[in-house]
Structure 1
Amino acid sequence: MFNGDPVYASYYDVGKTKSIGTDDGDFEKVLLLQHQTKTPWLSHRPHRRHPHLRHPLWFYQIRGSELTKLEKRMKQILDEINCQMEGSSSGADFDQEVAEIRASVVNEVNELGETALYTAAERGHIDVVKELLKYSNTETLTKKNRSMFDPLHIAACQGHHAIVQVLLDHDPGLIKTIGPSNATPLITSASRGHSAVVNELLSKDCSLLEISRSNGKNALHLAARQGHVDIVKALLDKDPQLARRTDKKGQTALHMAVKGVNSEVVKLLLEADAAIVMLPDKFGNTALHIATRKKRAEIVSDLLRLPDTNVNALNRDHKTALDIAEDLPLSEESSEIRECLCRYGAVRANELNQPRDELRKTVTQIKKDVHIQLEQTKRTNKNVHGIAKELRKLHREGINNATNSVTVVAVLFATVAFAAIFTVPGGDDDNGMAVVVSSASFKIFFIFNAIALFTSLAVVVVQITLVRGETKAERRVVVVINKLMWLASVCTSVAFMASSYIVVGRKHEWAAILVTVVGGVIMAGVLGTMTYYVVKSKRTRSMRKREKHARSGSNSWHHSEFSDSDIDRIYAL
Structure 2
Amino acid sequence: MSWNIRVSQNLQAMLWKVLELLVPHIKHVQKQKLMHLQAIQLVKCLCEKIRSSSDSNAYESLCKDVILTAARLGIHEVVEEIIESFPRAVWSMDADNHYIFQLAVMYRCANIFNLIYQMSGYKQAVMMLMDDSMNSILHLVGRLAPHDKLNLVPGAALQMQRELQWFKEVEKFVRPCYKEMPNASGEIPSMIFTREHKNLVIEGEKWMKDTANSCTITAALIATIAFAAAITVPGGDNGTSGIPIFSNNKAFTIFATSDAISLFTSTASLLMFLSILTSRYAEGDFLYVLPMRLTIGLVALFLSITTMILAFNSILYLLFCKNKEWILIPMATLACLPITSFVSLQFPLLVDLISSTFGPGIFGKQSDRPFY
Q: TM-score range by the shorter chain?
A: 0.3 to 0.5
TM-score relative to the length of structure 1: 0.27
TM-score relative to the length of structure 2: 0.39
Higher CA-based Rg:
1
Q: With CA pairs under 8 Å and 6+ residues apart, which has the higher RCO, 1 or 2?
A: 2
The structure with more helix, counted as a fraction of residues: 2
